[in-house]
Structure formats: C-alpha cells, structure tokens
Amino acid sequence: MLERQSSRGNLHRQSTLRNINKHSCLQRQKSRHTLQRQHSNVVLQAKISDVNNNINVNSVLSVTHVSPRVRHLLLKHTKFGFIDRFQNLSLAGSSADIKSTESLPSILTESDTLIRDCQMPESLFRDDFTASKTINKDDFELGRVLGAGGFGSVYLGIFQKQKVAIKVMHKYTKNPAAQIESFKAELHVMRFNHPNIVRTLAATHIDKFDEGAWIIMEYVGFSNLYKLLSDSEEVIANERRLKFAIQIASALAYAHKHKVAHLDLKPANILITDDDNCKVGDFGCSQKVEIDTGVVSPTNRSILTGTFAYRAPELLRGEPPTFKADVYSFGITLWQLKSRETPFCNQNQHVVIFAVVANGMRPPDMSPAETDPFELSYKDLYAQCWTANPLDRPSASEVVDVLNIWKLHL
C-alpha cells in the first residue's frame, strides 16, 4: 500500500513538472512572439518615417498591407525577375509580421478610394427599385443605331441637346421572359457611379414594358475593346494594356463591392472612350448576390447565360454564380488583350464547353518561348484568374492591388 501511495506521489510530481515545463515553454514562445512583433513594429515605423521623407507611399507600404494571396502573387512575379526591389521586403512574412500591420492605418488603393467616394444608397436592392425611375419618351430624339443584340438595339439619342445612348428593347423576341429579366438586370447598376462603368441614367416604367421598354445610358461612343483589338493599326504597349487591365478590374471590384456580379464580361462589352479609357457596360446578364455570401441565391437564378467562351466552368456545369465567375472572364479578357485573338474562335461550342469543364482546356499560349519578366508575370496572373477552382482565383480587388503595384514599377 505504501508503494502505491509512493507511485501516486511520483506520478503527481511528474505531472506537475510537465505542466511547469509546458507553461515555461509557452512563456518562452510568447516572449519570442513579443520580440518579433516589437522588431516588426520597429521596421514598419522606420518605413513610415521614410514615407514622411517623401518616399512614395504605395511603393513602400502597399505590400505590407495586402492580402496573403496578393503577397503570394507578388512573390511569384519577383521570382520571374519582375519587380526585383520587392526581394528586400517581407513578402512571405511570418504571422507576427502580418498581425503587426493590423494596428497600422491601411493604405487605400485606387479601387478602395473609388468605392469610398462613390457610395450608393441601400435602396438599390429594394424590389420596387426597377419601377422608381421613369422617363417620358417624348423628351428624347432617337438617332442612328450604335449597336444591336438579341433583346434590343442601342441608339444615339438627344436629351436637352446632350448625347445619350438609348437601349430600345425589341417588341417581339423568341424569349420574352429572358428579355424582361435582361431589362431588370440592366437596372441593377442604375445608381452605380464609377469612372470605368457605363452609367445607367433612367428607364421606362416596368409596368409599361409591353409598350416598348427603354433604358437611358451615358453616351460613351461606338468603339469597344473588341474592335480595338481587331484593328491591326492599334498599338497596345505594356503600359496601355496594364491601364486597361486596371480599369476593368477596378470596375469589377466596385460592382462586387455593391453585391452585383456582371456575368458577361468580354471585350465587346467594354467600351473605349475618346480619351482612351475603358468603361464596362451591358449588365444585361448581371445578378444580385446574397449579402456577405458572394453567391447568387438559388431562388434568384437567372435564365441568361452570357457568352460561352468567357463563361466560368462552374457556370457551364450549372452551379450558382459567384463573383469569382467574373474573375474567370477577366482572365480570358487578359489573355485576349495580349494575344489579340478571339478565344476558341471557329470551334464547336459544345466541344469547347466539354473540354473546358472536363479537361480544363483554356486558350492556348501564343508565345510559349517568352522570357520577358513582365510577360511571364502577366501570363501567371491570367492563369490564376482562370483556374478551375473558384476558391483559387484572386478577387477583383486583389487583382487591382497587384496591377497597381506593377504600375509603379513597370
């Protein structure tokens, strides 16, 4: 019996010693983390003092305030030889480095600034919003046709001596239900206010749709990115391509911030202004997204499909749309900006859809022997955007962050 009591005492002492050792180990780990955070804060404060000495804010601090996915992309692009100066920064920093930046004021990107300055009222998502803007057709003068689609034609219009674009919905169509849905989808962006999105100004009353529905938009012109890419005389240098990419991604980030997925992004739906800027238009396939989920509600699924060559594989499989579907389309558009070729041109639609979904087929690499660091990084970015798993794609705002950093060092 004395032996059992002695053994119990030994076990109790061993357990106590283990707890003490475990506590000491945790204390040492905590001390190391504290020292790491203090060291990181010293480094960041030194960077801030450099910024105050007229060093570019974006080039110094933007990298330490981006998401882990952006860090990963930038690190890959550094390995390609692009933006070598990033090697001196903690791109793949420890968790202590990342946590230490959370207490610092965030540096707003161009997209963040636009989202902050171009706020919209919450009433955008009220069900009766589609009937809240009405127009009198007699106040407008129709001019020449600017373009035509399956559900309507766009005309040059004059309103109080100012040019506007007027989309007149066809009175007769093979799919009237889809036409009405497309009309309502255009009104998702009625109050959008972004320099790279075509503004929707007004519309006829939804109750009078059968009498001839109109949508009034700002007049941008008749040139679009598809026409520009098809024009062999147009020169698209790296700086111009990067500018277009930033503007398109910024428009998507703004739409996603306000819970709308475009779902038909392609060069033909990106207008080019007279001062050579992009404006994303034609939200006729867009859908509202469930708040804070990034997924369209199953009860709000659309019968509109968009263009198959730019459509994400999960949508081709019939899955619910997310914002990442737009990122896939953006990746195809980036490829087209570089190649200036139409994706899957002259190929059977059903064969392409099967190959994209089942075999992961994507548009071909037009320059496999490329060695330029910028081009290698560019290829890697659009490949990340069109990867099969939506969770592996960056968000539109993350793409804007990456491209803006590229812009500083191109």
Residues 122-409: name the CATH superfamily. Transferase(Phosphotransferase) domain 1 (1.10.510.10)
Q: How far apart are CA 28 and CA 30, in angstroms?
A: 5
pLDDT of residue 49: 46
332 CB contacts (<8 Å, ≥6 apart)?
266, 309, 310, 343, 363, 382, 386
* Distance from the Cα of residue 368 to its chain's centroid: 27
User: What's the confidence (pLDDT) of residue 27?
Assistant: 54
**Identified catalytic residue from 264, 282, 326, 401:** 264
Sheet holding 162-169, edge to edge: 140-148, 152-159, 162-169, 214-218, 200-203
Is 267:336 a contact under the CB 8 Å cutoff?
yes
CA distance 363 to 64: 34
Cβ atoms of 241 and 374 closer than 8 Å: no
pLDDT of residue 340: 96
Q: 45: buried, middle or exposed (CB in 10 Å: 19+, 13-18, 0-12)?
A: exposed
Q: How confident is the model at residue 298 (pLDDT cuts 50, 70, 90)?
A: low
167 a known binding residue? Answer: yes
Q: What is the chain's mean pLDDT, rounded?
A: 76
pLDDT band at 409 (very low <50, low <70, confident <90, very high): confident
Burial of 250 (0-12, 13-18, 19+ CB in 10 A): buried
Whether residue 264 lies in the annotated active site = yes
Kindly state the DSSP code that residue 332 receives in the 8-state scheme.
H
Tokens of 219: 């007049």
Average pLDDT on 135-146 reads 85
Q: Give me the residue spans of the domains in the chain.
A: 2-107, 122-409
Q: Compute the average pLDDT of residues 249-259.
A: 95
Question: Per-residue DSSP letters for 202-221?
Answer: EE--GGGGGG--EEEEE---
The answer to whether 299 and 289 have CB atoms below 8 angstroms apart is: no
Contact 377, 82 (CB under 8 A): yes
Give DSSP secondary structure letters for 205-270: -GGGGGG--EEEEE---S-BHHHHHH-TT----HHHHHHHHHHHHHHHHHHHHTTEE-----GGGE
Check whether 339 has a pLDDT greater than 90. Answer: yes
Instruction: Please name the residue ranges forming H helices in 80-148.
Output: 95-101, 110-117
Residue 216 has pLDDT above 80, yes or no: yes
Choose from 7-16, 150-159, 379-388 the range with maximum mean pLDDT: 379-388
Enter the DSSP assignment of 132: S
Please provide the DSSP assignment of 105-118 as one string: PPPPPHHHHHHHHS
At 324, is the pLDDT very low, low, confident or very high (cuts 50, 70, 90)? very high
Distances (CA, A) of 207 to 130, 136, 333: 10, 14, 37
Which of 128, 217, 209 is CA-nearest to residue 169? 209
Give the per-residue pLDDT at 90. 46
d(CA 188, CA 264): 14
In order of 103, 250, 257, 372, the CA distances from 375 in angstroms are 36, 21, 29, 5
Q: What is the pLDDT of residue 290?
A: 75
pLDDT of 50 reads 47
